[in-house]
Amino acid sequence: MAERNHTWFVDMTDAFDGDQYIYIDFCHVTATGNEIIAERLNKILEQ
């Protein structure tokens, strides 16, 4: 779907595998989770 709409999709599910303490609830992440997301996106944007 992202390719069809010419948008980016970054699958980050593996970044949170196995760490139940990253989530505040069923889908929202903690400050640490946001840092992980920011680091991952930064690496992609630097390419």
What pLDDT tens digit does each residue of the chain (47 aa) get?
A: 667 878 778 888 888 787 678 889 888 999 998 999 999 999 989 98
Question: In the prediction, which pLDDT does 11 show?
Answer: 86
pLDDT of residue 46: 93
Q: Residue 15 falls within a domain, yes or no?
A: no
Which residue bears the tokens 């069923």?
A: 26
Q: What is the pTM of this model?
A: 0.69
Domain assignment present for 42: yes
Residue 37 lies in a domain: yes
- Does 9 map to a domain? no
> Among residues of the chain, what percentage have pLDDT more than 70?
89
The owner of tokens 């630097």 is 46
Q: Which tens digits make up the pLDDT trace of 10-21? A: 888 888 787 678
How far is residue 20's CA from residue 29's CA, in Å, rounded to a whole number?
A: 10
- The residue segments making up the domain with residue 29 are 22-46
- Whole-number Cα distances in Å, 40 to 2, 6, 20, 23, 37: 19, 21, 19, 17, 5
Please report whether residue 14 resides in a domain: no
Q: Rg of the Cα trace of the chain?
A: 12
The verdict on residue 6 lying in a domain is no
Contact 23, 30 (CB under 8 A): yes
